[in-house]
Chain A
């Protein structure tokens, strides 16, 4: 997965993880491969319902499934978990906004008492 998640991708991701059962499934499949029927035993709902939850997670790219004989084995996709990185990037953007506003405020004549209205803009960017 790339850092810049598209809006659709983000929608699917947040939708998938907004459900408690799906988050629980996610925790299990990140620890190791599970068959859908083994997963279904943990929940007080039908096999079909669990299968549906797994499908939502699969569509969001959070898990991958492979077929072994009659069983579908689900594994958590560690790359998707790395989307935590992109979430931190979004919060970083909030911070960049705040810091830019602080810089403006500190550089305003009423705040600094100096005659220079423009902040320094020579610092490097990562």
Chain B
């Protein structure tokens, strides 16, 4: 498991995850830059993601949906704010309906991804900030819980195969 640190700031509702990958920074960035690769990692295998619009440029909008096992589509969007390829990406992440129209009543998180070269690999630092505790609840209500359970199961599979 490449996760090396998890920090939770309850007051600011910020989650910071640090991971180390055995691959150069450019290759890690390459996953985010290529929608076909990104969809292999973004949604859990039972909720696969499909990126529809994708461009990592300041001001660009990325849209995607995840498909539930029942075939239901759960949409999402990113609004890219800052790009420093291949070292950092700052964007807002929100929910969309099945037609990929943003859901205004749904919470939006602020995200900063940073990638730095370390000995033979990449250290990635992912920061997600949620505006309010209610926003957090809403995120979980809108399907994160299912995703979380699936992710836990998947990690178990991953460890079992190790």
Seen from chain A, the residues whose Cβ lies within 8 Å of a Cβ on chain B are: 10, 14, 17-18, 23, 81-82, 84-85, 87-107, 111-112, 118-121, 123-126
- Please, which residues of chain A bring their CB within 8 A of the CB of B131? none
- Please, which residues of chain B bring their CB within 8 A of the CB of A90? 140, 144-145, 148
B137 at the interface (CB under 8 A from A): yes
Known contacts A93-B148, A97-B151; A123/B136 CB under 8 A: no
- Contact A97–B44 (Cβ < 8 Å): yes
B160 at the interface (CB under 8 A from A): no
CA A39 to CA B159, docked complex, whole Å: 51
- Please, which residues of chain A bring their CB within 8 A of the CB of B1? 96, 99-100, 103, 121, 123, 125
- Contact B41–A91 (Cβ < 8 Å): no
Interface size of B as a range:
35 or more
Q: Mark B20-53, 1 if CB is under 8 A from A, else 0.
A: 1111000110010000010011101000000000
**Closest A residue by C-beta to B44:** A97
Q: Which of B21, B128, B140 contacts A106 (CB 8 A)?
A: B21
- Contact A120–B148 (Cβ < 8 Å): no
CA A82 to CA B13, docked complex, whole Å: 11
Q: Which of A94, A99, A104 contacts B148 (CB 8 A)?
A: A94
Which parts of B78-106 form the interface with A (CB within 8 Å)?
none
Q: Which of B10, B20, B22, B28 contacts A88 (CB 8 A)?
A: B10
